[in-house]
């Protein structure tokens, strides 16, 4: 399977190379040259399989010959062994024709575990075979960093450094990073904001001497392997509800457009998805773009659903690439315009996007009200992100079954949930001692040279 860049100017790579590279050299994102299609018979045959078996069948055609069948099956088994639910991604019914897909049973209680756990095992297997070692540096506002530390801890081929803004992540999020004990993981609390963390990360990638010296690699949400891992649960959920014989719709709380883009890939693979509904909080660039055709950045306003507080939605570039008939030049041009604040989507491309995606936006008050209402009416305590999904989904209910993705466990955002519902959600028993575990963290200043020296010291020691 070949992978091409959305800007058309970077080398064509294999799955493994695209995964280890992350961002393409022309600034674009890697996508499969062709999306493999599953027949109705192949999809029907997923019924009754374990999550791992379904994952193997859905992802296998994308992997190429970098991994053997046995090797890939082992990787999947290891990736999901630490989940706290036998179904991995169980479905719960909320109301007539409306279902919740619980994606928060992984080790850090957010859906990012599905992709990060898989990518950890893929990196370890590929790098060990190549006799290589890499340094992963990530910037996080909370969920990505903890998922990455959990996924890479104890692996031989990887050293992990996660930058988070000191004092600006929730206590649960912080402890999920600082209580990881393995020596190859490092939580770095930076004096500054999330934007500062991201800016220093970008500086490190642009410092080629440093980048090559420590073999820097990235696992942020533009990594194609992360998107691929998320395609699987669209299949398992839809098949549980009658696909391929009956179509299904999905509503997805969205920030960087990674999770919902995985749903779009599932649809391209032949899964009968009627609607893919984008649900945003007050940082609604995607809802505005799909409504008006103008993709224009505004500042980020912090919300009670912080994992969706984005200014630019990086994976949207992949959807634009298809909407513009896979014309890399056209996409490169739009991204150039974005540097000065935004761009207008052509009518043809907009019509195509609207053929796949609907959208809705939810205010802070509506989010809190939804958390309270869902607890009263459905007996479900929702995290703020999932509540945004449920609210938007309710505006799109019809005769087709609707599945809303629950992206995090309510106990990950206890303050917002308690303020809305009066109930303080508790951590699952397997994590109940999180607040008693010792913390290990290094305080760092917002200073590129000092950061690089620290990382070099650890890696080359
Ligand atoms: C990352 C995240 C999202 C947004 O996912 P995208 O793939 O960026 O759209 C939503 N909810 C939670 C809890 C998250 O951690």
List, chain by chain if needed, residues with CB within 6 Å of any ligand 1 atom. 110, 112, 143, 221, 253-259, 307-308, 385, 407-408
| pLDDT digit string, tens, across residues 19-77 | 998 888 888 999 999 999 999 999 999 999 999 999 999 999 999 898 999 999 999 99
Please give the pLDDT value at position 407: 98
Please give the pLDDT value at position 168: 84
Of 114, 91, 141, which is closest to residue 311 (Cα–Cα)? 141
Cα of 118 vs centre of ligand 1, distance in Å, is 17
HSE (side-chain half, CA atoms, 13 Å) at 291: 12
Q: Is position 112 annotated as part of the catalytic site?
A: yes
Please give the pLDDT value at position 170: 84
| pLDDT digit string, tens, across residues 205-230 | 889 899 889 999 888 888 999 999 99
Closest atom of ligand 1 to CA, residue 385: 11
400 with 274: CB under 8 angstroms?
yes
For the ranges 97-101, 262-266, 300-304, 443-447, the lowest mean pLDDT is seen at: 300-304
Q: Cα separation of 40 and 424, whole Å? A: 44
| pLDDT digit string, tens, across residues 166-199 | 988 888 999 999 999 999 999 999 999 888 898 8
Q: Cα separation of 270 and 331, whole Å? A: 25
Cα of 121 vs centre of ligand 1, distance in Å, is 21
421 with 375: CB under 8 angstroms?
yes
Structural domain boundaries of the chain? 91-108+227-421
Q: For all residues of the chain together, what is the average pLDDT?
A: 95
What phi-psi label fits residue 288: left (phi over 0), alpha (psi between -120 and 50 degrees) or beta? alpha
| pLDDT digit string, tens, across residues 131-152 | 999 999 998 877 899 999 999 9
Could you tell which of 143, 255, 404 is best to mutate to test the pocket of ligand 1, judged by most ligand atoms within 8 Å of the CB?
255
Average pLDDT over residues 78-84: 97
Please give the pLDDT value at position 103: 98
For the ranges 44-58, 299-313, 400-414, 445-459, the lowest mean pLDDT is seen at: 299-313
Helix (H) or strand (E) run with residue 436 in it: none
Q: Cα separation of 106 and 144, whole Å? A: 13
Closest atom of ligand 1 to CA, residue 408: 13
163 DSSP 8-state letter: E
Closest atom of ligand 1 to CA, residue 383: 13
Please give the pLDDT value at position 25: 81
Q: Cα separation of 433 and 411, whole Å? A: 13
Taking CA atoms only, the protein residue closest to ligand 1 atom 14 is 307
pLDDT at 358 over 90: yes
Torsion angle defined by CA atoms of residues 316, 144, 64 and 28, in that order, rounded to the nearest 10 degrees? 40
Closest atom of ligand 1 to CA, residue 112: 15
Cα of 400 vs centre of ligand 1, distance in Å, is 25
- Classify each residue of 5-18 as buried b or exposed e, where b means 16 or more C-beta atoms within 10 Å of its C-beta: bbbbebeebebbeb
Cα of 103 vs centre of ligand 1, distance in Å, is 11
pLDDT at 81 over 90: yes
> H-type helices in 324-447, by residue range?
328-339, 347-356, 364-378, 384-394, 414-421
- Identify any residues that bridge with 91 across adjacent strands, giving them in sequence order: 101
Specify the CATH architecture of the domain 91-108+227-421: 3-Layer(aba) Sandwich (3.40)
Cα of 263 vs centre of ligand 1, distance in Å, is 14
Average pLDDT over residues 407-428: 96
| pLDDT digit string, tens, across residues 229-276 | 999 999 999 999 999 999 999 999 999 999 999 999 999 999 999 999
Average pLDDT over residues 340-345: 96
Please give the pLDDT value at position 150: 95
Taking CA atoms only, the protein residue closest to ligand 1 atom 11 is 407
113 with 80: CB under 8 angstroms?
no
Q: Cα separation of 98 and 402, whole Å? A: 5
């Amino acid at each position: 399977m070949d992978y091409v860049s959305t800007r058309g100017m970077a080398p064509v790579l294999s799955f493994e190379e695209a995964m280890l590279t992350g961002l393409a050299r022309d600034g674009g994102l890697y996508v499969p040259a062709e999306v493999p299609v599953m027949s109705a018979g192949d999809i029907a045959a997923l019924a009754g399989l374990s999550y791992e078996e379904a994952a193997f069948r859905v992802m296998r055609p994308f992997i190429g010959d970098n991994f053997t069948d046995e090797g890939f099956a082992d990787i999947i088994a290891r990736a999901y062994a630490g989940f706290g639910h036998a179904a991995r991604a169980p479905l719960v019914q909320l109301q007539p024709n409306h279902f919740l897909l619980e994606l928060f049973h992984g080790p850090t209680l957010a859906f990012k575990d599905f992709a990060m756990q898989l990518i950890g095992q893929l990196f370890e297997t590929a790098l060990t075979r190549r006799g290589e070692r890499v340094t992963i540096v990530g910037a996080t506002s909370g969920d990505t960093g903890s998922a990455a530390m959990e996924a890479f801890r104890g692996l031989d081929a990887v050293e992990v450094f996660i930058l988070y803004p000191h004092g600006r992540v929730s206590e649960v999020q912080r402890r999920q990073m600082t209580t990881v004990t393995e020596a190859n993981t490092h939580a770095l609390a930076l004096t500054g904001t999330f934007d500062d963390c991201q800016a220093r990360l970008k500086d490190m990638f642009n410092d080629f001497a440093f980048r090559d010296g420590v073999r820097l690699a990235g696992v942020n949400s533009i990594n194609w392997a992360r998107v691929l891992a998320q395609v699987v649960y669209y299949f398992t959920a839809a098949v549980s509800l009658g696909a391929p014989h009956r179509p299904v719709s999905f509503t997805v709380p969205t920030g960087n457009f990674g999770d919902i883009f995985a749903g779009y890939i599932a649809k391209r693979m032949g899964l009968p998805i009627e609607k893919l509904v984008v649900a945003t909080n007050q940082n609604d660039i995607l809802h505005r773009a799909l409504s008006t055709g103008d993709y224009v950045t505004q500042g980020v306003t912090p919300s009670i659903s912080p994992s969706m507080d984005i200014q630019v939605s990086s994976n949207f570039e992949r959807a634009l690439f298809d909407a513009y008939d896979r014309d890399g030049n056209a996409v490169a041009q739009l991204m150039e315009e974005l540097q000065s604040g935004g761009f207008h989507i052509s009518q043809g491309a907009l019509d195509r996007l609207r053929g796949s995606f609907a959208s809705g936006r939810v205010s802070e008050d509506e989010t809190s009200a939804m958390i309270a209402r869902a607890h009263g009416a459905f007996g479900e305590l929702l995290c703020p992100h999932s509540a945004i999904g449920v609210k938007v989904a309710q505006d799109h209910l019809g005769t087709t079954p609707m599945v809303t993705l629950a992206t995090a466990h309510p106990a990950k955002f206890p303050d917002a949930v308690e303020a809305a519902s009066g109930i303080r959600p508790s951590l699952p028993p397997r994590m109940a001692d999180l607040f008693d575990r010792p913390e290990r963290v290094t305080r760092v200043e917002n200073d590129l040279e000092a950061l690089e020296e620290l990382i070099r010291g650890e890696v080359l020691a």
